Amino acid sequence: MTDFTPLQSFEGGLLIGAAAALLMVFYGRIAGISGMIQGMLTNAGGGFVWRFAFLIGIASAPFLLQRFAKLDVPFSTATPALTLAVSGLIVGLGVSLASGCTSGHGICGNSRLSVRSIVATLTFMLAAGATVFILRHVLGGAP
């Protein structure tokens, strides 16, 4: 069972929104993680430094919370490595088909009322809901 954490979720949402807004204000860029990674790997349009800094900030946040806020942030999963790898490939395929990821479409695109982003986000959410339903109720996975 997953824990219900509305306060932490709200605080996290505020931080994500603030980061996306600041990136737009200072760099005129959308906070789409898949686009950032692609831009770093291909150096498309320059901007390696800000992309690298943004991604390092995302990756280091749990470590910083553990170190300075003394919060316990678990870094383990019972999911087998093969399942994680296949899941990552499926997500990568979805990102390619949708021309972006949940952060770019779901946070930045929806706030701009982009029809393409709204459709993409609805598709992401429906697929996630169907996946959870199938794994938990059809295949009998964890509750």
Dump pLDDT digits (tens) for 102-127: 778 888 888 888 898 899 889 888 98
Confidence of residue 54 (pLDDT cuts 50, 70, 90): confident
CA atoms within 13 A on the CB side of 138: 7
* 58 vs 55: CA distance, rounded Å: 5
Give me the domain span that covers residue 40. Answer: 1-76
Please say which residue of 44, 76, 108 terminates a domain. 76
Do 65 and 93 reside in the same domain of the chain? no
Do 83 and 72 reside in the same domain of the chain? no
Do 25 and 93 reside in the same domain of the chain? no
Do 58 and 6 reside in the same domain of the chain? yes
Q: Has residue 21 got a pLDDT over 80?
A: yes
Do 90 and 42 reside in the same domain of the chain? no
Do 98 and 45 reside in the same domain of the chain? no
* 66 vs 58: CA distance, rounded Å: 14
Do 22 and 61 reside in the same domain of the chain? yes
**What is the mean pLDDT of the segment spanning 52-78?**
84
Contacts by 9-16 with C-beta closer than 8 Å and gap 24+? 16/103, 16/107
Do 72 and 22 reside in the same domain of the chain? yes
Count of domains forming the chain: 2
What is the pLDDT, as a whole number, of residue 118?
A: 92
> What is the 3-class SS of 21-42, one letter each residue?
HHHHHHHCCCCCHHHHHHHHHH
